[in-house]
Amino acid sequence: MTNPSIDPKPEPATTRLDDILTDTEVGSVFVSNYPPYSFWSDEHLDAVSDVLDTQPGDAAEAVPDLGLYLHIPFCRKRCKFCYFRVFTDKNAAQIETYLAALVEEVEMYRQRSRIDGRALKFIYFGGGTPSYISARHLRSLVSRLQDVLPWDAAQEISFECEPGTLTEAKLVAIREVGVTRLSLGVENLDDSILRENGRAHVSEEVYRVMPWIQQQAFSLLIVDLIAGMVGETWETWRDTVQRTIDLDADSVTVYQMELPYNTVYSKALGGEAGAEIRHADWQTKREWHQYAFEQLQSQGYRIASAYTVVKGQEGDQRFVYRDALWRGSDMIGAGVSAISHMGGVHYQNQDRWDDYLAALARHELPVSRAFPTTADERLTRELILQLKLGQLVPSYFQQRYGVDIIDRFEGPLQALRSESMLSFDANEVRLTPDGMLRVDQLLPAFYDERYQNSRYT
């Protein structure tokens, strides 16, 4: 079986990986979507209306899962490496206005043909800092949202937290509204590094909230770390890893720090004065990442993705949000700058506070740019994102797209195998340990030629 909309094979990568990235330069490395965001534009906004006015699924494909992402863009302060749309200057009245707008936006979605009558499989509170808002605001928001789009049958409700914003009462509220998966943004446990990188919390606040979190018995507690924050050394990193092990979380996520455009650090590095910022190169960050995984594995954790280790046996702990998105599910992205995926159309909301609220005041969805994908682009997107799990199953893509990915991507697969980044046969593609540590640097090898060497955002 073949698909006539699948493009010809990509050419093999010609640049050796060791020549790609050594020092940490300004720009995005972490890959969260495909095609790159820089190709999205307001020229494709009609595609958003078209897909929302169409019933999901057809004779050839089952109705995809549906999720809801809620962007809570408030923070106590902006981290120096942060490039997300966040606000540190909003008062209680402005927060209430924004949360009411979120409900209005979700209500507008419920009235569209693609959404009406469908059940949510997952909900994700992201930010910013969802735990920044008060318990009263959270309970009110969830109550109003459930009146609009019930989520009683959702398999997972995720909630991101910054330790210093949590109180015992707020954690009770977070659990009461149904949160199952709590993500704690620890990042590091050395206070001097936290302060240097602009984090709002210090380690004492992590230890203060842990007993309260344990009392609430969330289904899953995730601790997030960043390898290579400014000022990190082998000594401080070893200490942070050991103290993270002592926290005894259900899962630990380790990201390698990058310097995207429009952050405090990247602007300083690009300035005329040539700022001196002591940050690790990629080889060092990979070594720190590997060290953390080795230490966690020695304590009973297993590797679940390029970034994540979890306790328990295979299948004990699923990340529904991640797995759904990496397999082409529909997702409503509500909030300023939030990103949605509907029926192969990717789009983003207005990223300015006033523009977002003004659109909703006009009873319009606040969409600013979009990109309708081809079948080949959807195939590539799923392939590169699922590769972050460490392996691909060719039969999945054969069944879903009618494509033999070993043949379709023979060039980049052969090139990466020659670099000892992966192995493959007819039944499986599997990253090597070194490939897992630099997976985001490998993924552009699978991009179509038109997207090669483009700015990601």
Encode pLDDT of 403-426 as tens digits: 999 999 999 999 999 999 999 999
Higher pLDDT, 286 or 455: 286
Q: What is the mean pLDDT of residues 197-212?
A: 97
User: Is residue 177 helix, strand or coil?
Assistant: coil
Stretch among 80-84, 235-239, 324-328 having the lowest mean pLDDT: 80-84
SS3 content of the chain, % helix, strand, coil (to 5): 40, 20, 40
pTM over 0.75: yes
CB atoms within 10 A of CB 448: 15
Which ranges of 19-87 would DSSP assign to H, the alpha helix? 45-52
Stretch among 16-20, 148-152, 265-269 having the lowest mean pLDDT: 16-20
Q: Which domains does the chain have, with CATH numbers?
A: 1-35+374-457 (1.10.10.920), 43-323 (3.80.30.20)
- pLDDT greater than 70 at residue 276: no
Encode pLDDT of 33-54 as tens digits: 999 999 999 999 999 999 999 9
Encode pLDDT of 128-167 as tens digits: 999 999 999 999 999 999 999 989 889 999 999 999 999 9
Rounded alpha-carbon distances, angstroms, from residue 334 to 104, 108, 348, 407: 10, 11, 9, 39
> Phi/psi of residue 159, each to 5°?
-150, 120
Chain-centre distance for alpha carbon 376: 22
Which ranges of 111-187 would DSSP assign to H, the alpha helix? 135-148, 168-176
Encode pLDDT of 158-193 as tens digits: 999 999 999 999 999 999 999 999 999 999 999 999
**pLDDT computed for residue 188 by the predictor:** 97
Stretch among 294-298, 309-313, 329-333, 370-374 having the lowest mean pLDDT: 309-313
Encode pLDDT of 250-265 as tens digits: 999 999 999 888 888 8
CB 310 within 8 A of CB 304: yes
Which structure tokens are listed for 421?
A: 């980044």
Map tokens 């820089």 to a residue. 38
pLDDT tier at 61 (50, 70, 90 boundaries)? low
Smallest CA-to-CA distance from 289 within 303, 275, 278 is with 303
- Neighbouring C-alpha atoms within 13 Å toward the C-beta of 351: 9
pLDDT tier at 346 (50, 70, 90 boundaries)? very high
- pLDDT greater than 80 at residue 19: no
Residues paired with residue 340 on neighbouring β-strands, in sequence order: 347
> Phi/psi of residue 67, each to 5°?
-130, 170
Higher pLDDT, 394 or 84: 394
Smallest CA-to-CA distance from 105 within 366, 348, 368, 331 is with 366
N-terminal to C-terminal alpha carbon distance within the chain: 35
